[in-house]
Amino acid sequence: MAPSSDERYEPPESFVEQANVSDPGIYDEFEENWPDCWERTADLLDWDEQYDQVLDESDAPFYEWFPGGRLNASYNCIDRHIEAGQKSHAALKWEGKRRETRTYTYQDLYGEVNELAAALRDLGVEEDDVVTIYLPMIPELPIAMLACARIGAPHSVVFAGFSADALATRMKSADSEYLVTCDGYYRRGNAFNQKSKADNALMGLDRQVTTVVVDRLGRDLDHSLDDDQYDYEELLLTHAGTTVSPVARDAEDMLFLMYTSGTTGQPKGVIHSTGGYLAYAAWTSRAVLDLKPEDTYWCSADIGWITGHSYTVYGPLALGTTTLLYEGTPDYPDRSRLWEIVERNAVDVFYTAPTAIRAFMKWGQEYPADYDLSSLRLLGTVGEPINPRAWKWYYKHIGGEDCPIVDTWWQTETGGMMVSTLPGIGTMKPGSAGPPLPGIGARVVSEDGAPIDPGERGYLVADRPWPGMFRTLYGNDGRYREEYWEPFSEGDDWVYFSGDGATIDYEGYITVLGRVDDVINVSGHRLGTMEIESAIVGVPGVAEAAVVGGQHETNGTAIYAYVSTDHSRDPDETLRERIVESVEDAIGPFARPEAVVFTPELPKTRSGKIMRRLLENIANREPLGDTSTLRNPEVVGEIEAAGRDD
């Protein structure tokens, strides 16, 4: 019943030979030596002061990792590589929307991070002040993060596409009095005013905010800046050549806070530490993404999400890798854009999301086929379950059938990857993320916390802490305990609850089914949306599907399926019948969709996740509520219209 396929793929010999981790003994090494095994992650960093202990559990679930240790994240991501002779090595490669390119060596990065750090300090930023960063994918975004880290000021990056309201809510929630933003940026070739959004947000705040404005559009900013607003370039000029010694932070001090993407209710300010987080981001970048200093690595996620924090900025830079930053979208100016970037930069490792892979599939294989992608050694995916068909497409048409794929399950809260195969060791099973990473206590359990049988559906939990874990929710220790720890903990046995449902197979491979609240109850049957969707997406011609529960006169709840087709197929009656049959075959006639609504696109959050909540409102003809986190609000009208035709 699980959506993973029975097929197995082995990593190619050529990959295994060069892999950072290729000894299967690593799992036992971690188990036998837990929690001291985590020293190996801390050893990837340079510490100003050695920690006293690996793990302090005395105040669980408020764990402390590497207590007593002191370090600076910016030093670890920049200075130490320069000291090791890597100053001319590329740290950051940027591909702009208008085909501009910029390369920062580690020395360049050092210069600009220091100048900005000095400027922020002069503007009044002190250690522990939260600096909000509201920038698109331009080099100034990671530079601002690292400048904050250098002076011990936690950053809170707010995705640039968010509205003024969303920015104001997050700044207020984080008590933030400093903002780094820009004048604007290009969206599909048109200039778009970011600063007026930021100004609107600031108007709604009852506090003085000092703002730094990056000039992305290359126009004269002088006239639009208020007294407490400063031009980024001017600040760099007045601080040219200034260096700031990196502040030694306590391992447990906050490195940043990050609001979750908001597919479920109110955004939460997730807090990550300096020591454990950085160690874990570096370790998983090394073990799972197989990153090496000489690699050019590209994670296509926006830095406004946790994936960009851990796997565009902190992990890769801590390892001295070249990390690529792309400002644009995959289909502008055309659908070859990503593959052209991979070819030109000879990208070694590429990490993206299933939503992107499904879009590539929908567009067709001819786009990647036109480019030389042979530089690729490893592919990764994160963010949603990937159905076997999309997995195989990625494997064949992007990886050329000789790159392993790591399907990495993790969350904003976990800070880094938790479940995945290790690419130099593990057999891959399309659709299944894999076993827990070494030392990670990910388990699939029943409602009462007992392990479930292979094939049964259960709850994905972690029965041990790990260094990259979040420390609490900003200003809300209570919610941290209640939402994440109380559901499955008993006495002093603290168990982290992910909120996701999963199955596990005889070999310990975990298949994530999606959120447990994404369940439809039809005539007493509890059906996971993921499983039904997987049956639909398996029908040739279907690109994407989302199912939700809607009110039905006789059955109570009925299943509504929203489906988009790929380039090979126009929606018609035959396809509709095939979809219904496929669900009946895979799950049973009781799961038969009441309606199949074809739509050119599904509504998605800005991080690319399908907004089922909204489709549920549409199916039930209810008011839509907050749509500010939607990336493609225009599809809502189209779906409503299509639904009425049925």
Binding site for ligand ATP (CB under 6 A): 260-264, 305-306, 382-385, 407-412, 433, 498-500, 512, 514-515, 607, 609
Rounded to whole angstroms, the Cα distance separating 165 from 192 reads 17
Least distance (Å) between residue 380 CB and ligand ATP: 9
Least distance (Å) between residue 239 CB and ligand ATP: 35
Supply 115's token pair: 């100048």
Of 20, 45, 42, nearest to 320 by C-alpha is: 45
Contact 316, 307 (CB under 8 A): no
Output 145 or 575, the one with its CB closest to ligand ATP: 145
3-state DSSP percent of the chain in helix, strand and coil, to 5: 30, 25, 45
Rounded to whole angstroms, the Cα distance separating 301 from 408 reads 14
Spell out the SS3 assignment of 410-422.
CCCCCCCCCECCC
Contact 134, 128 (CB under 8 A): no
Least distance (Å) between residue 390 CB and ligand ATP: 12
Three-state DSSP state, 19: coil
Output 197 or 609, the one with its CB closest to ligand ATP: 609
Output 7 or 334, the one with its CB closest to ligand ATP: 7
Least distance (Å) between residue 307 CB and ligand ATP: 7
What is the C-alpha R_g of the chain?
24
Output 88 or 264, the one with its CB closest to ligand ATP: 264
Output 72 or 261, the one with its CB closest to ligand ATP: 261
Least distance (Å) between residue 139 CB and ligand ATP: 23
Output 262 or 330, the one with its CB closest to ligand ATP: 262
Least distance (Å) between residue 285 CB and ligand ATP: 16
Supply 357's token pair: 């892979």
Element (H or E) spanning 457, and its range? Answer: strand 457-462
What's the Cα-to-Cα distance from 595 to each of 392, 476, 549, 646, rounded to whole Å?
29, 42, 11, 8
Least distance (Å) between residue 365 CB and ligand ATP: 23
Of 510, 534, 642, nearest to 585 by C-alpha is: 534
Output 367 or 496, the one with its CB closest to ligand ATP: 496
Output 110 or 305, the one with its CB closest to ligand ATP: 305
Output 202 or 516, the one with its CB closest to ligand ATP: 516
What's the Cα-to-Cα distance from 188 to each of 49, 219, 327, 331, 496, rounded to whole Å?
48, 19, 11, 9, 42
* CA dihedral sign of residues 142, 299, 471, 610: positive
- Please report which residue ranges of 555-621 form alpha helices under DSSP H: 573-586, 612-619
Least distance (Å) between residue 433 CB and ligand ATP: 5
Output 152 or 308, the one with its CB closest to ligand ATP: 308
Least distance (Å) between residue 474 CB and ligand ATP: 14
Least distance (Å) between residue 513 CB and ligand ATP: 8
Output 348 or 500, the one with its CB closest to ligand ATP: 500
How many other C-beta atoms can be found within 10 angstroms of the C-beta atom of residue 20? 16
Rounded to whole angstroms, the Cα distance separating 462 from 176 reads 32
Three-state DSSP state, 317: helix
Of 79, 77, 83, 56, nearest to 67 by C-alpha is: 56
Phi/psi-derived region of residue 356, left when phi > 0, alpha when psi is between -120 and 50, beta in every other case: alpha
Least distance (Å) between residue 108 CB and ligand ATP: 31
Least distance (Å) between residue 499 CB and ligand ATP: 6
Q: Tell me the β-bridge partners of 490.
A: 493
- The CA dihedral of 432, 436, 441, 443, to the nearest 10 degrees, is 20
Q: Tell me the β-bridge partners of 504.
A: 510
Supply 19's token pair: 């892999």
Supply 294's token pair: 């000489």
Contact 549, 576 (CB under 8 A): no
Least distance (Å) between residue 608 CB and ligand ATP: 9
Output 557 or 607, the one with its CB closest to ligand ATP: 607
Output 489 or 629, the one with its CB closest to ligand ATP: 629
In one-letter notation, the amino acid at residue 500 is D
What's the Cα-to-Cα distance from 39 to each of 155, 240, 250, rounded to whole Å?
26, 39, 17
